[in-house]
Amino acid sequence: MTRQTLTGILLFGLAAAVPAFVANPFYLHTGIALMVNIVLALSLNFILGYVGEKSLGHAAFYGIGGYTAAILAINYALPAWLTLIAGAFVSGLFGLIVGYPSLRLRGPYFAIATLGFGAILQLIATNWVAVTKGPMGMPGVPPISLPNPFGAGFVFSTERPYYYLALIFVALTCWITYRLANSRTGRAFVAIHENVDLAESVGIDTFNFKMIAFLLGTVLAGLIGAFNAHYTNFISPKALEPYLTLNAVTMVIIGGEGTLAGPIVGAVLVTFLPEVLRVAEQYRMVFFGLILLISIIYAPSGIVGLVRNIAGRREAARHGNAA
């Protein structure tokens, strides 16, 4: 077993043990919010971090997942396991529609398409009152409940079950990232990021792999968006705000794009830093924008990159050469 796997198992063990020691629902709630952010960051990481395509509308896919789940659960009383899958699926479908024409092209088209898509979706959510209830949002999204063929289903009425479900989603996302990173697919992602012409010339269907990365990310963003709508019993156009996209981008970049640990570290910082530093709500966008800028200028490979550099230099010093 590698040190990386061991660290992973240890961290998940710890996270799974938290509810046994922490009774305060506020802390569990914070943990759930953090895990939602982790999944969001890791889902963006496939296309932004590994492949390096500037996806600037990630909140839209999170929001699509949330609205899909909310509408299906409220209007059609569908069970949560179905609304979660539907949220992921519909989000992926929109990923296909946005990515298919724009990822074929070289240049800023994908960035523009995702940015535009995010803006359009926010307009739709705000103005299509008949379906989305408009700017007030949709309250009353029912809690998740597990079906039970022999009797009453198990309704998620406290933080604890949500905490564990979120942890499962984090584990799933980490697993996918970990497996891909060490396979032909992950190498193809990175190759496209590094040198798209060379990647093409060795036989990588670059469009195909960009699509895989983008769809994977939109499906997972939709899933966690649907989860959050059920958990908070609420969805509104706020879920589609550019602020949320900026959040996700910040998590990926300051943590370290194209790594597994980076977006997790980034999510921890973005979730807690404004609280710790007591940044007022209305200044947070400016705050994250600044942090993002500083990171891009001084630590383009993020915190994980910095740590690796230092570790690498130590290692080199120990072996007595500067390579």
Site for another protein, rule CB under 8 A:
175-176, 179-180, 183-185, 187-188, 190-191, 194-195, 197-206, 212, 323
Spell 263-274 as b/e; 16+ CB within 10 A means b: bbbbbbbbbebb
Q: Are 155 and 89 in contact (CB under 8 A)?
A: no
Closest to another protein by CB, 202 or 280: 202
CB of 207 to another protein, least distance (A): 9
> Parallel, antiparallel, or unpaired: how do β-strands 145-146 and 154-155 relate?
antiparallel
Q: Are 245 and 111 in contact (CB under 8 A)?
A: no
Closest to another protein by CB, 55 or 259: 259
- Whole-angstrom CA distances from 78 to 94, 129, 146, 231 are 21, 21, 12, 16
The residue written with tokens 């198992």 in the block is 9
Report which DSSP code applies to 148: -
Q: Tell me the Cα Rg of the chain.
A: 20
Closest to another protein by CB, 10 or 296: 296
CB of 186 to another protein, least distance (A): 8
CB of 203 to another protein, least distance (A): 3
CB of 204 to another protein, least distance (A): 5
Report the half-sphere exposure of 209 (CA within 13 A, side-chain side).
24
Tokens of 67: 């609205």
260: nearest Cα among 310, 194, 163, 190: 190
Closest to another protein by CB, 275 or 315: 315
CB of 315 to another protein, least distance (A): 11
Closest to another protein by CB, 232 or 259: 259
Distance CA 84, CA 69 (A): 6
Closest to another protein by CB, 206 or 232: 206
Q: 139 pairs with which residues across the strands? A: 234
Closest to another protein by CB, 75 or 208: 208
CB of 213 to another protein, least distance (A): 10
CB of 197 to another protein, least distance (A): 7
